[in-house]
């Protein structure tokens, strides 16, 4: 990833972070950037997300990433729970964001987001039918199944402990599950029902609402930093180009 001056935090996410990558897997990157503060006061709002392929990279503007994380979005939350070696850009403001990761969490939003994403994966599997489909569709079905199992396990961990471990303990278990579901999509339903019950019966350590105060204060520091840079004539940090 090109290290733009206004990228605050970025790293490798997805299957590499989960320990589920195989030969030929895409390498997905996610990051947070800040637009120059003066651009927030113009006639048109700056673009909040930049997505590219080759390389596969998604960058969210700081405020948008915070809104996603506050909603419990599993993909956004990965960025602040990465193993150290997977970070590619870390700035002081990015380190502050990692330190604030607990402030984004709340019981209901984590439960609804992770289980909700898992249900979406299950609905995709249901549409696969009885397994009589092409090798490519089987491959995609297995991938959806692995994501379903991962989202359930990671969501329950975050819900009950307040911590998120991205790398799975036994990658082969996830690959085997994917293969079973690719052959028979209905095989995913017992796992989903088991986790729905587990969430319902578990006691969460998370608060009812996220702690938005420190998040708001962090955003103010970001805006002040990039405003002062313009005022003092520092090199302009243009938003990343697609």
Q: Please state whether the predicted TM-score (pTM) of the whole model is above 0.75.
A: yes
The per-residue pLDDT for 238 is: 44
> d(Cα 118, Cα 124) in Å, to the nearest integer?
10
7-104+211-231 has which fold? Answer: Beta Polymerase; domain 2 (3.30.460)
Residue with tokens 């729970």: 81
The per-residue pLDDT for 145 is: 93
The per-residue pLDDT for 75 is: 95
The per-residue pLDDT for 3 is: 39
Short-list 47, 37, 38, 33, CA closest to 3: 33
> d(Cα 151, Cα 120) in Å, to the nearest integer?
11
Interval 73-127: pLDDT, tens: 999 999 999 999 999 999 999 999 999 999 999 999 999 999 999 988 888 887 7
Interval 199-223: pLDDT, tens: 999 999 999 999 999 999 999 999 9
Interval 54-75: pLDDT, tens: 789 999 999 999 999 999 999 9
The per-residue pLDDT for 133 is: 55
The per-residue pLDDT for 26 is: 86
> d(Cα 121, Cα 123) in Å, to the nearest integer?
5
E-assigned strand segments in 1-151? 7-13, 28-33, 49-52, 56-61, 87-90
The per-residue pLDDT for 131 is: 47
Which residues contact residue 222 at a Cβ distance below 8 angstroms, ignoring those fewer than 6 apart?
8, 34, 62, 93
Domain ranges of the chain: 7-104+211-231, 107-201
**Is 50 exceeded by the pLDDT of residue 236?**
no
Which residues contact residue 91 at a Cβ distance below 8 angstroms, ignoring those fewer than 6 apart?
7, 8, 9
Interval 37-54: pLDDT, tens: 999 988 888 999 999 987
CA angle (74, 79, 83) in 5-degree steps? 115
Interval 152-175: pLDDT, tens: 999 999 999 999 999 999 999 999
CA distances from 210 to 5, 100, 107, 213 (A): 30, 11, 9, 9
Please provide the size of the chain in residues. 242
């Amino acid at each position: 990833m090109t290290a733009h001056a206004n990228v605050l935090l970025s790293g490798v996410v997805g299957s590499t972070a989960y320990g589920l990558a195989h030969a030929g897997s895409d390498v997905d990157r996610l990051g947070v950037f800040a637009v120059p503060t003066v651009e927030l006061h113009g006639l048109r709002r700056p673009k909040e997300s930049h997505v590219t392929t080759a390389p596969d990279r998604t960058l969210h503007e700081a405020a948008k990433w915070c809104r996603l994380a506050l909603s419990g979005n599993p993909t956004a939350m990965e960025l602040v729970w990465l193993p150290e070696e997977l970070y590619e850009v870390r700035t002081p403001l990015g380190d502050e964001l990692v330190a604030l990761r607990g402030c984004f969490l709340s019981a209901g939003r984590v439960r609804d987001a992770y289980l909700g994403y898992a249900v979406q994966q299950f609905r995709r599997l249901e549409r696969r039918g009885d397994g009589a489909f092409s090798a490519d569709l089987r491959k995609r079905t297995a991938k959806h199944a692995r994501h379903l199992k991962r989202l359930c396990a990671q969501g329950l961990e975050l819900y009950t402990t307040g911590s998120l471990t991205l790398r799975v303990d036994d990658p082969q278990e996830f690959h085997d599950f994917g293969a079973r579901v690719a052959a028979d999509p209905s095989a995913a339903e017992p796992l989903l029902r088991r986790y729905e019950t587990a969430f319902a019966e578990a006691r969460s350590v998370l608060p009812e609402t996220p702690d938005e105060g420190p998040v708001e204060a962090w955003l103010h520091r970001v805006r002040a930093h990039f405003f002062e840079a313009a005022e003092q004539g520092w090199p302009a940090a243009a938003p990343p180009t697609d």
